[in-house]
Amino acid sequence: MVAIKIILAGPRGKMGKEAVKMIENEPKFELVSCIDRKNNGKKLSEVLSSTALQVPIFEDPESCFSSVKADVFIDLTIPNVGYINTKAALERGIHAVVGTSGFTDEQLSELTKTAEAKGVGCIIAPNFALGAVLMMVFSKMAAKYFPDVEVIEKHHDQKIDAPSGTAVKTVEMIKEVRQAKQQGHPDEYESIEGARGANIDGIHVHSMRLPGLVAHQEVVFGSKSQLLSIKHDSFHRESFMDGLHLAVEEVSKYKTLVYGLENILDLQ
Ligand code: NAP
């Protein structure tokens, strides 16, 4: 068995640490290098007490990709950095799996072009928790029959982007099947700005940020005398590792960008 060689960006982050653990515990995977914004030239074990891996750390993604041979690049950083890293990986013909959320439509379209031009796969998933992906799929099914819907997403207070990538993706999926409608009272107004949350094409998204939370979302559908709530909670970043594992295994089958883990799951 030849292991899939992986370069990981963001190894000191909360997701990054979990990813290092997941890769270390999977004989089919091999971590060959990391990209970090500090610690250039050090070994991973020198900066992460949880691992004995001696893989080299690079601050510059280009130097990393040109010095170390890899099959898959994983990005778990912040949007602008993740975009630069991912584009550089794809340009080198390295498949990419991205958990970093907050890419713009322009960035996604540029990465799609690069992946297709180089004939490599790029899986970007706003949420790698399989339960969260099913929550989105079930919400899309419900929206066909329940067009009145609002989304409440709750995350830890260190998250920098809002609304969450999962909430935006959920709304996109709902929009594919929901009949367009003006929700709420036609004369509704906010006496305090922001009271109704973000409005994505008529669907309101409410974002909560508090210590103690990890990643949680509830999609609430309202109808005459009934409410349907579809809810998912990630209590630990470990919950994202099954989906990340699957994406790393599957990404080399693609020659384009795939946005959303639901597109690589068997949901029939
Ligand atoms: P985190 O703990 O804050 O980790 C972020 C990592 O990015 C850290 O290693 C951080 O380094 C690094 N970083 C920050 N600014 C940087 C810069 N300017 N240049 C290079 N590296 C930089 O966050 P997290 O909870 O692990 O989340 C990481 C990403 O994954 C976020 O985008 C988050 O939204 C996303 N996420 C995705 C999923 C999913 O299922 N797809 C789930 C959870 C989170 P420092 O420590 O030096 O700042």
**From CA 63, how far away is CA 149, in angstroms rounded?**
47
Domain with CATH 3.40.50.720 in the chain: 4-124+238-264
Taking CA atoms, 53 is separated from 18, 28, 33, 34, 115, in Å, by: 14, 16, 10, 11, 30
Q: How far is the CA of 179 from the centre of ligand 1 (A)?
A: 36
pLDDT at 216 exceeding the cut of 90: yes
Q: What is the pLDDT of residues 124-136, one digit of tens each?
A: 998 999 999 999 9
Residue written as tokens 């439509």?
Answer: 105
Cβ atoms of 188 and 134 closer than 8 Å: no
Q: Assess whether 155 carries a catalytic annotation.
A: yes
Residue 235: closest CA among 214, 211, 208: 214
- For 176, the token pair is 């594919």
Split at pLDDT 50, 70, 90, the class of 105 is very high
Predicted confidence at residue 182, as pLDDT, reads 85
**N-to-C CA span, the chain:** 31
Q: How far is the CA of 192 from the centre of ligand 1 (A)?
A: 32
Residue type at position 171: V
Ligand 1, atom 21: closest residue by C-alpha = 37
Q: How far is the CA of 15 from the centre of ligand 1 (A)?
A: 7
Taking CA atoms, 98 is separated from 3, 85, 252, in Å, by: 20, 10, 14
Q: Which entry of 21, 43, 113, 159 is annotated as an active-site residue? A: 159
> Across the chain, how many H-helices and E-strands are there?
8, 12
Q: Assess whether 231 carries a catalytic annotation.
A: no
Report whether residue 10 contacts ligand 1, using a CB cutoff of 6 Å. Answer: yes
CATH number of 130-234: 3.30.360.10
Predicted confidence at residue 126, as pLDDT, reads 85
Predicted structure pTM score: 0.89
Q: What is the pLDDT of residues 60-94, one digit of tens each?
A: 999 999 999 999 999 999 999 999 999 999 999 99
Split at pLDDT 50, 70, 90, the class of 268 is confident
Residue 124: closest CA among 146, 149, 105, 147: 105
Task: Work out the percent of the chain whose per-residue pLDDT is above 70.
Answer: 100
Ligand 1, atom 20: closest residue by C-alpha = 37
Cβ atoms of 151 and 219 closer than 8 Å: yes
Domain with CATH 3.30.360.10 in the chain: 130-234
Predicted confidence at residue 244, as pLDDT, reads 98
Report whether residue 92 contacts ligand 1, using a CB cutoff of 6 Å. Answer: no
User: Is CATH 3.40.50.720 correct for 4-124+238-264?
Assistant: yes
Predicted confidence at residue 221, as pLDDT, reads 98
Report whether residue 83 contacts ligand 1, using a CB cutoff of 6 Å. Answer: no
Predicted confidence at residue 80, as pLDDT, reads 93
Predicted confidence at residue 101, as pLDDT, reads 87
Q: How far is the CA of 246 from the centre of ligand 1 (A)?
A: 20
